[in-house]
Amino acid sequence: MEKKLPAHLEEQRRFVHVGEEFPSDATTLSGADTFQTLGVTQHWDLKEFQEHFKFEILRLTPDEIQFDLIGIDPAIANAFRRILIAEIPTVAIETVYVENNTSVVQDEVLANRLGLIPILVNPALLQDRKPGDAPTDQDTIVFKLNVKCTRRPGIPEDSANEEKFVNSSVYSGQLQWIPFGDQQARFGECPPRPVHHDILIAKMRPPQAMELQCFAIRGIGKDHAKFSPVATASYRLMPRVRLAKPVEGPAAESLKEACPLGVFDIEDGHAFVKNERNCSMCRECIRSVWRDRLGAEESAKLKDAVSLGRIKDHFIFTVESSGILSPETLFKQALEILMAKLERIEGDLLQL
């Protein structure tokens, strides 16, 4: 983009504006010829992209990553988000063979609950199973759940259930992995198990029992949400909060009070934007309701003082893993999956 857009259009192109009633300029204006009549073109230019693009990790814990993606289009950000949720493979229980179940939880409900338990297996070590194929040691992992609730002898009747009974609660940790074929060698270092051992599966009382075999396979979130590797994967746009005119004295005090997220602070009697990122666009700072209570003079000082908006190409991602894959692996895999899609198209194009 050699020629620059006029300031007011540039403002509309780069930012969403949030008013008291509604947001405006929320559309993305990224087409090559959107501003052609003004002599401004927005053709794809790798150099320009490389100059503007920024990746910043803000926070990384064993199960959560928070990062900024700056300089990309919603179409791309959304592709990452969608792939994170629905297209990264993981392993989950798909079929449950119930040999015995006398608990009050019906077989089908029990099977559904088992399916939703995140299973800690490296999905890369397993192949996909075609629908209708017989399970093999290359594509299926088997867990056994064999529990019976019994009464502990000699415990007074008014004690807690956990003391009176054995197995009054069945937890995910009681699932036992049964290796088949070469699985012992393949998974030996990290035996398949549920990510969390304390997920309650069912409650039982003597003499109830359950005896099950669970077959886990590899799948993706598009097929069933149980395969989704993330608890949440979402983004929001970076808030942009500006003071259009100086706010001081009691008006500054009121403005600081009005914001429930502590976006504003005061220095030398003047209000300033301290924590833009915290803004949740609640619009309290631009509402007239509390302003009018301050009296005409103070209210006038605050009118149109704050301009609220969002930066259209600054995405704040939060990805929380379900515990199977580390959050940094998740994003890396999302990139690889999108890349694989494009490579497949290139292959298909050559066949046409």
Partner 1 sequence: MQPPPPMTMIPDPADARNATFVFLQEDHTLGNALRYMLIKHPKTHFCGYSIPHPSEAKMHFRLQSSDPELSAKDLLHEGVDSLKEMLHHIDSEFTKELARFQAAQPTQTGPASQSQSAPIDKE
We find the least distance from the C-beta atom of residue 44 to partner 1, in angstroms, to be: 4
Token digits of residue 52: 């503007």
Q: Please tell me the count of residues contacting partner 1 according to CB under 8 A.
A: 64
Per-residue x/- track, 264-283, partner 1 (CB under 8 A): -------------xx-x---
Quote the CA–CA distance of 157 and 128 in Å, as a whole number. 51
The CA angle 106-110-111, to the nearest 5 degrees, is: 120
H-type helices in 6-73, by residue range?
7-14, 46-52
Closer residue to partner 1, CB minimum distance, 161 or 278: 278
Closer residue to partner 1, CB minimum distance, 61 or 102: 61
Task: Tell me if the bond preceding 131 is cis, omega within 30° of 0.
Answer: no
| Residue 299: Cβ within 10 Å count | 16
Residue 83 sits in the site that holds partner 1 (CB under 8 A): yes
CB 42 within 8 A of CB 307: no
Quote the CA–CA distance of 48 and 25 in Å, as a whole number. 23
Using DSSP's 3-state secondary structure scheme, residue 190 falls into coil
Quote the CA–CA distance of 280 and 182 in Å, as a whole number. 53
Residue 58 sits in the site that holds partner 1 (CB under 8 A): yes
Q: Which of 6, 27, 39, 49 binds partner 1 (CB under 8 A)?
A: 49
**Residues of this chain, 23-42, that bind partner 1 according to CB under 8 A:** 30-32, 41-42
Residue 130 sits in the site that holds partner 1 (CB under 8 A): yes
We find the least distance from the C-beta atom of residue 335 to partner 1, in angstroms, to be: 5
Q: Which of 13, 113, 218, 310 binds partner 1 (CB under 8 A)?
A: 218
Q: Which of 24, 27, 78, 100 binds partner 1 (CB under 8 A)?
A: 78
Handedness of CA 56, 331, 222, 348 (dihedral sign): positive
Q: Which of 10, 20, 107, 223 binds partner 1 (CB under 8 A)?
A: 223
**Residues of this chain, 182-211, that bind partner 1 according to CB under 8 A:** none
We find the least distance from the C-beta atom of residue 254 to partner 1, in angstroms, to be: 22
Instruction: Give the pairing type, strands 15-18 and 306-321.
Output: antiparallel
Residue range at the interface with partner 1 (CB under 8 A); choices 80-88, 185-193, 264-272, 296-304: 80-88
